[in-house]
Each structure stands twice: as C-alpha cells, then as structure tokens.
Amino acid sequence: MKTYSKTLVGSLLAASMLFTFPFSAYASPLIKISESSNLKTVSVSQGSKVQITLHSTYWSSKKVINLKAVGAPISVPIMPGPKAPPGCQFAGTGCGSITWTFVATKIGSASFEAGRTSCGEALKCTASQQTFKVLFKVK
C-alpha cells in the first residue's frame, strides 16, 4: 500500500508541475505572411510556425522547400450577395482567402510559392498577379 501511495503522490506532483507553467512558453512563435511579403525574404527561427494567407480562393500551392506542412490548407470563401464586401457581390470573383501553415524545420533557406491564372471568373491575371513567392532565412 505504501508503494502505491508514493507512486500516486509522485504522479500527482509531476502532473501539477506540468500545469503550473503557461502553455505559451512551449509554443513556437507564429509568423503571419500575406501579399505584402511577395518577393521578400523573411527571417524566422528554426521551429517557428509560418502562416501564409493569400486573399483569393484561386491561389494554389506550387512549390514548398524546407517547410513542413501543418494540416491541409484552409479555404475561406466569401459568399456572394448584396451583403458581401465590395467587389464580392457576384459569383466567380474568388473572394475569400486560403491559408497554409508550416513549420520552419531546417536552418538555412526555405521558400513558398503559389500560383493562379484566374483573377476572377472571366478575368485572366496579369503576369505580376500570377505568382506569389516568399523566401525564408531560417536561423
């Protein structure tokens, strides 16, 4: 009975120590990236989470180097209609966003590239609108 009590007390003490530290102390920083980072280099720490959000549902991932995906991309379309934001009232505009989340796993260089050919149902993208690319310097 004494061994059981010591084991139980030890287990409870260990469990209470786990919950005395804030969980955020163990979380890696979240780096948020959007269109303003196109063709730029962003410095991140190894193990950082990188969240890339592009504001059109027509984007798709083309090339990912030295970044580990965390789950599937999340697409959040904006439904067309009279109460939709300006420019989104009609179907086929691609209103919404797509978000990818990665972890920077390897020290050195990493990159993400996405592409699209349509900037609306009947609107072809210009050359400068077709590609999004961000480089990462992982320290």
Please, which residues have CB within 8 angstroms of residue 139's CB and are 6 or more apart in sequence? 43, 44, 45, 46, 107
CATH of segment(s) 27-138? 2.60.40.2020
How many whole angstroms separate alpha carbon 6 and alpha carbon 131? 62
Q: What is the DSSP string of 4-66?
A: HHHHHHHHHHHHHHHTTS-GGGTSPPEEEE-GGGTT-EEEE-TT-EEEEEES-TT-EEEEEES
Q: What pLDDT does 133 receive?
A: 97
Q: For residue range 62-76, what is the model confidence (pLDDT) as tens digits?
A: 999 999 999 999 999
Residue 11 has pLDDT above 70, yes or no: no
Domain boundaries, the chain: 27-138
Cβ atoms of residues 44 and 136 within 8 Å: yes
